[in-house]
Chain A
Amino acid sequence: MHVVVMESLEEYLSGTLNPESRRDIEAHLSICESCRQEVAGMQEISGLFSAMVPDEVIEPAPGFYARVMREVGSRRPVPTFAGLFGLDLAFARRLVFASLLLLAALGSYLVTRESEYPAGSSPEAVMAQQDSPQFENAPAHEAMLATLTTYEP
């Protein structure tokens, strides 16, 4: 559609355009087939809207407001856990996700620490302790055996 028509299309369709601009548009429509067809289609559809203007007035029956409030009551959302703390659902979801991530990170850190523990001292260091006075007892012997059997270089 050309500018001359498009610029004032709404006023043209509603019949509120000033005579001068109207003449300009009609002069263009008389020579432009595509604009003429498109505007004709729009005019036809615009005319159909009058069928949506109600031909009679329907007023609400007495007690309408009370019925609206009953409808509101039946639609009120069921309180949720997040709702108890005044959180909106999206924020609550993000909070739960962040907590889970934190737990996972904490868990993996603890597991890593535990798996590092048995590696402890090397066999050379344990054997060196053999000559020290503290080594002359049973628990120290057992600790040495455990270290030697579980050691992974």
Chain B
Amino acid sequence: MGSLTGVLPLPGFGSKVAQKSRVDYQNTTEGALVQRAQAGDDAAFREIVDRYQNKVFSIIHGIVRQRNDVEDIAQQVFAKVYLSLRSFDFRSSLITWIYKITVNECFDYLRKRKVRKLVYESDMSEDEVRRVENSEPAVARQAPLDDTLARRDYVVKLLTRISEEERMLLMMKEVEGFSVEELAEKTGMNENTIKVKLFRARQKLVKAAQRLDRAPGLVTG
């Protein structure tokens, strides 16, 4: 297997750079909206929420699949957006920044849920754990049998093995369907960097999958 660094100097691979600079984005209508919100204009922030709430709900639902928790997580996402909007530096587009916060919030939620479950189960005897599992709704017990849910669980498990940035890029590429060129434009990175980051992320996922497949019971659990 060749190393990626050997590829980088090749002409034509990654010679394109991101089309929009930070200054360009600041001068767009959305840039002006963000600047107003950064200055404390609540109407501008409300417009941001209205503009992106459906997208945020969709991302969360795709990752956590718990209908009841989608709105709670979305509230936390927008609260975070509100409180850290001043640190938004226009290097990427606003939706890319919100996308990253949303994905991180979802994985944080899944991690906390797993910890809660482990703590809860560690306080119970084996009989109690079995009784609770049997008393869970039929839908929940059938979930692992559902192919889509099992595949989603598996991908989520793999995605916990890579960095936040790699996770965001892969999801924007694979779930949202953005091309490398579009990703470069949205993130402010050049196409070469995007390709390298995606390649490394995919390599890590393949390795993580090999490790998971060797551990029985982890794939669908």
Contact = CB atoms under 8 A, between A and B. Distances in A.
Given A48-B154, A55-B148, A68-B78, A10 B62 contact: no
Contacts of A65: 46, 49-50
A45 B206 contact: yes
Interface of B: 1-2, 4, 6-7, 10, 12-13, 46, 49-50, 53-54, 57-58, 61-63, 67, 70-71, 74-76, 78-79, 82-83, 148-149, 151-152, 154-156, 158, 170-171, 173-175, 177, 179-180, 195, 198-199, 202-203, 205-206, 209-210
A56 B86 CA distance: 34
B101 to A, nearest CB: 13
Contacts of B156: 52
A45 B155 CA distance: 8
Is the contact region of chain A dominated by helix, strand, or loop, or is it mixed? helix
A90 B57 CA distance: 35
Interface of A: 1-3, 6-7, 9-11, 14, 16, 34-35, 38, 41-42, 44-46, 48-61, 64-65, 67-69, 71-72, 75-76
Given A3-B6, A34-B1, A75-B83, A52 B171 contact: yes
A140 B71 CA distance: 89
Given A54-B58, A57-B54, 5 more contacts: A3-B2, A64-B53, A64-B74, A71-B76, A71-B79
B53 A10 contact: no
B206 A72 contact: no
Given A48-B155, A49-B175, A1 B209 contact: no
B74 A10 contact: no
List the 4 closest A-B pairs by CB distance, nearest first: A49-B174, A51-B151, A41-B206, A71-B79
Nearest to A41: B206
